[in-house]
Amino acid sequence: MAKLFESIGKLGLALAVGGGVVNSALFNVDAGHRAVIFDRFRGVQDAVVGEGTHFLIPWVQKPIIFDCRSRPRNVPVITGSKDLQNVNITLRILFRPVTSQLPRIFTSIGEDYDERVLPSITTEVLPWCVFVCTSQARFDAGELITQRELVSRQVSDDLTERANTFGLILDDVSLTHLTFGKEFTEAVEMKQVAQQEAERARFVVEKAEQQKQAAIISAEGDSQAALLIANSLQEAGDGLVELRKLEAAEDIAFQLSRSRNVTYLPAGQGTLLQLPQ
């Protein structure tokens, strides 16, 4: 029994050692990832390992796993326009490495290639692109907002071309934030206030002009009315005046008839009404 337990122990130890060796000789590459093999004697291998389970030489070879899916990154940059205004721009970049160039990326840049490459090329390309575009009389600081799509497309083209030299693919480049310096913002606000004041002043002038025209038209109307009245008096004598007197008397009588506490006394009599005999 002792020899049996001893044999079982040796067998278990052998299996454990064998399992450890086999486990260290296997590695997995998940979906959307690729691996680069580093050999202690031959360096980084040129072959790129795809998805699945693979073998390697324990303690001699080491797998370096890269995520080849598109990943987002925000890069803030301060640049200038053609009118020398500071512009704060934040780019949102979707990037991924070129699979076939992973060995070169690992050898020349490292695993944190995005931390090393994206901020540097963005800081290099974006100010040059915006300044050149604006200096060609296409954009000033204010037009960067209205021409945002065109600026984004130009930046995307230049940045994609620059990233290709490092083995990176930019699936999308977009401007997520675009702000200006404090002085320029205050100047824009003052300009807007001045434009509103100018619009208000123009409205006042137009209103006064309309009132002037209305007064002229009213005066012309009164003049024509006076002329017509004069002509009527000349032709009909005092008949028109008597007609107007009768119309006025009729209107006064109508108003008094609707008023309270008004009593009519017979003409030619001195009798006091509502008094005892």
* Cβ contacts of 205 within 8 Å, gap of 6 or more: none
Buried b (16+ CB within 10 A) or exposed e, 148-167: eeebbebbbebbbebbeebb
- CA dist 130 and 176 (Å) reads 15
- CA dist 101 and 168 (Å) reads 9
Angle in degrees, 0-180, between the axes of helices 113-135 and 148-164, rounded to the nearest 10: 130
Token readout for 197 is 């004041």
User: What's the confidence (pLDDT) of residue 8?
Assistant: 67
User: What is the longest distance spanned by two Cα atoms in the chain?
Assistant: 161
- CA dist 50 and 31 (Å) reads 9
* Cβ contacts of 100 within 8 Å, gap of 6 or more: 48
* H or E, element range at 97: strand 86-97
Residues of the chain with pLDDT under 50: 137
Give SS3 for 232: helix
26-63 confidence digits (pLDDT tens): 888 998 999 999 998 888 998 899 998 888 888 888 89
Find tokens 């052998």 and name the residue: 14
User: What's the confidence (pLDDT) of residue 163?
Assistant: 92
Note whether 213 and 196 are within 8 A (CB): no
**Topology annotation, domain 71-180:** Tetrahydropterin Synthase; Chain A (3.30.479)
62-100 confidence digits (pLDDT tens): 899 999 999 999 988 877 666 666 777 888 999 999 999
